[in-house]
Amino acid sequence: MTRALFIVDVQNDFTEGGALGVEGGDAVAERISRFLVVRAGDYEIVVASRDWHDPDSDNGGHFSAAPDFTGTWPPHCIAGTGGAEYDGGFDASAVTHHLKKGQGRPAYSLFEGRTDDGRTASALLEEHGILDIDVVGIATDFCVRASALDAIAAGRRIRVFTDLIAGVHPESSDAALAELAHAGAELLESRR
């Protein structure tokens, strides 16, 4: 049996000082890096996603001058900008596959992304025969939630490492974790 690690959106615009900075994002980036030093060998593949939105576009209504911060947002993670790059505290050297999501439309789940050669997360999981996935990253209440729920819907067994995630709001993050647990995800610490 093989296992994958999904690292969701550990990007400059989602950590402190970014366009949609999440409190604790920099610390999560550093903890994920330390985790990878010890545990990257536990995984058949290590997949990292990034929002990668088109410049000069509202990206299918995802960007708004008057965002509601639930379905519309200020511009963030514009392709080719520093905000779209991985957080400086995240060492991506152990990542085997990089997925970009968004690209002209709203996208929350890692499953909506593609590698530069066009492969999806689903294709990577099938290619490697992976049934078990560990999920970490930002933000608990949005993209981590969506990615884990899509993995469960795809018939995978999911663990979410609660010490390697950061959310936008404590209440909605707690609700997201409760929803994930109800859907069948195992919530635990990474035991680095």
What is residue 191's predicted lDDT score, i.e. its pLDDT? 82
Residue 39: which domain range? 2-188
Catalytic-role residue among 9, 13, 51, 87: 9
| Nearest CA among 132, 81, 123 for reference residue 102 | 81
90, amino acid identity = F
- What is the pTM assigned to this prediction? 0.96
CATH of the domain at 184: 3.40.50.850
Q: Catalytic one among 87, 100, 143, 150?
A: 143
pLDDT for res 192: 60
Catalytic residue among 13, 87, 100, 101: 101
Do residues 151 and 111 make contact, with C-beta atoms less than 8 angstroms apart? yes
Give pLDDT tens digits along the chain (192 positions).
Answer: 589 999 999 999 999 999 999 999 999 999 999 999 999 999 999 999 999 999 988 989 999 999 999 889 999 999 999 999 999 999 999 999 999 999 888 999 999 999 999 999 999 999 999 999 999 999 999 999 999 999 999 999 999 999 999 999 999 999 999 999 999 999 999 986
Active site residue 143: yes
* pLDDT for res 56: 87
Q: Is there a catalytic annotation at residue 77?
A: no
Per the structure, how many domains does the chain have? 1
Per-residue pLDDT, 1: 53
Q: Among this protein's residues, is 101 annotated catalytic?
A: yes
What pLDDT does 180 receive?
98
Structure tokens at 27: 């610390």
Contact indicator for 168, 142 with CB cutoff of 8 Å:
yes
| Selection from 153, 182, 180, 184 nearest residue 165 by Cα | 180
The secondary structure of 100-158 as a DSSP string is EEESSS---SGGG-B-TTS-BHHHHHHHHTEEEEEEEEE-IIIIIHHHHHHHHHTT-EE
CA dihedral 77, 41, 192, 171 (to 10 degrees): 30
Say what the pLDDT of residue 155 is: 96
